[in-house]
């Protein structure tokens, strides 16, 4: 799984959102084993992406790097990282050894590299959007004091569909009304359409923590790597899934969507995460699952119940899809959250 041979990393221009030919930097990673995981010196990775140590942080465990086009902040001993202004969750913690910080080679290959160089990942042409409004029928999903998740997800998807169709994008849905669709059938429908992209839309719930808020976007973890918030599992992590064939593209799609949602909505940044949800495991085309806001948070529940806010959310989803389509179809780099005038995420929180 871990490739220690010569690797070429594409450095791309993100100041403008147009594609430019990358300036290739060959990085012959010098690796070391720490706790049976293959690691690379964090400074080596930063140098490959033309980043230099930035201003020291208040917490000595936090290490920051910046360059003309990229930013990276990590916190040693954790799996949390802020990459180009938004939160990400790594597969392994950033560690220290001999006075140096190290990041796993797996995270360079699956998270840091693709996040900072989305054009270096192979992307399929996209012609059809397959929306999956979460839940439906007897499965009501989460509940707020105003209503059920299944109704809100369908409304948002209907709105996003209208926006995309107005731009002549072909859109289909796993359900068009209030009925239940088996989880395995939702991603299976992509086989009926040409060059599809799969987007499952949900709202979050945390009854045990009413203050929980924000937006997060999920992609499938690579085979052999753990899900966000869980320790590595030598059995579950290695099970093959249809979605493993397109993990890099799914991740870049999730990252593109997350930047767009944060930039357009101004929500709290919960990060780009990894999970083995059934709709992601069984989908062999680029796929993501969006958790838009919390039904159990009083402020966000009011937002979700507002038709104006749902229209804004739907518009942001449509923009995220269009941004990824521009990358996949035209090699045009997607905007970052800071292109929408959103300040970079700066605080470290918790792993969940």
CA distance 105 to 139: 40
Query: Which of 64, 98, 120 is the last residue in one of the domains?
Result: 120
Can you give the CATH number for the domain in which 180 is found? 3.40.630.40
Q: Are residues 142 and 180 in the same domain?
A: yes
**Residue ranges making up the domain that contains 312:** 128-340
* Alpha carbon distance 121, 287 (integer Å): 15
Same domain, 102 and 250: no
Residue 248 has pLDDT above 60, yes or no: yes
Number of domains in the chain: 2
Confidence (pLDDT) at 106: 97
Whether 20 and 137 map to the same domain: the answer is: no
Residues 108 and 179 grouped into a single domain:
no
Q: Is residue 168 part of a domain?
A: yes
The answer to the question of residue 335 being in a domain is: yes
Is residue 1 in a domain?
no
When the pLDDT of each residue in the chain is averaged and rounded to a whole number, the result is: 92
Please check whether residues 115 and 199 belong to one and the same domain. Answer: no
User: Within a domain: residue 307?
Assistant: yes
pLDDT in tens, 42-75: 999 999 999 999 999 999 999 999 999 999 999 9
Global pTM value: 0.92
pLDDT at 108 over 50: yes
In a domain, 349, yes or no: no
Asked whether residue 32 is domain-assigned, the answer is yes
**Higher per-residue pLDDT: 321 or 8:** 321
291-329 per-position pLDDT tens digit = 999 999 999 999 999 999 999 999 999 999 999 999 999
Same domain, 319 and 273: yes
348 within domain boundaries = no
- CATH number of the domain that residue 12 is part of: 3.30.457.10
**107, 157, 207, 264, 296 from 13: Cα distances, Å:** 22, 32, 43, 22, 40
Query: Are residue 69 and residue 144 in the same domain, yes or no?
Result: no
Q: Of the candidates 120, 149, 174, which is a domain's last residue?
A: 120
Q: Are 171 and 287 within one domain? A: yes
Q: Pick from 120, 142, 168: which residue ends a domain?
A: 120
Q: Are residues 177 and 111 in the same domain?
A: no
Quick check: is 351 in a domain?
A: no
Using 50, 70 and 90 to split pLDDT, how confident is the model at 350? confident
Are residues 178 and 327 both part of a single domain?
yes
**Quick one: 151 and 115 in the same domain?**
no
The verdict on 111 and 175 lying in the same domain is no
Q: What is the mean pLDDT of residues 282-291?
A: 98
């Amino acid at each position: 799984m871990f490739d220690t041979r010569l690797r070429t990393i594409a450095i791309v221009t993100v100041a403008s959102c147009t594609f430019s030919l990358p300036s290739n930097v060959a990085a012959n990673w010098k690796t070391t084993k720490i706790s049976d995981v293959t690691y690379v010196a964090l400074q080596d990775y930063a140098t490959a992406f033309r980043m230099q140590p930035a201003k020291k942080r208040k917490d000595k465990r936090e290490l920051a790097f910046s360059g003309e086009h990229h930013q990276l902040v990590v916190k040693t001993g954790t799996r949390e990282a802020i990459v180009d202004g938004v939160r990400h969750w790594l597969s392994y913690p950033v560690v220290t050894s001999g006075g140096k910080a190290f990041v796993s080679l797996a995270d360079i290959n699956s998270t840091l590299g693709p996040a900072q160089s989305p054009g270096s990942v192979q992307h399929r042409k996209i012609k059809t959007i397959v929306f999956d409004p979460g839940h439906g029928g007897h499965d009501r999903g989460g509940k707020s004091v105003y209503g059920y998740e299944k109704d809100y997800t369908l409304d948002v998807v209907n709105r996003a569909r209208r926006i995309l169709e107005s731009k002549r994008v072909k859109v289909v849905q796993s359900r068009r009304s209030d009925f239940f669709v088996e989880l395995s059938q939702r991603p299976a429908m992509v086989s009926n359409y040409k060059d599809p992209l799969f987007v499952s839309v949900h709202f979050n719930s945390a009854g045990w923590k009413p203050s929980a808020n924000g937006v997060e976007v999920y992609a499938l973890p690579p085979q052999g790597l753990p899900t966000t918030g869980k320790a590595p599992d030598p059995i579950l992590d290695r099970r093959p899934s249809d979605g493993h064939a397109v993990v890099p593209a799914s991740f870049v799609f999730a990252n593109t969507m997350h930047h767009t949602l944060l930039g357009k909505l101004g929500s709290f940044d919960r990060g780009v995460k990894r999970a083995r949800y059934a709709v992601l495991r069984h989908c062999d085309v680029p796929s993501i699952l969006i958790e838009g806001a919390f039904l159990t948070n009083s402020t966000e529940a009011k937002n979700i119940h507002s038709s104006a806010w749902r229209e804004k959310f739907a518009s942001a989803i449509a923009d995220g899809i269009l941004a990824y389509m521009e990358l996949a179809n035209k090699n045009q780099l997607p905007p970052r959250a800071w292109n929408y005038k959103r300040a970079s995420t700066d605080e470290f929180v918790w792993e969940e």
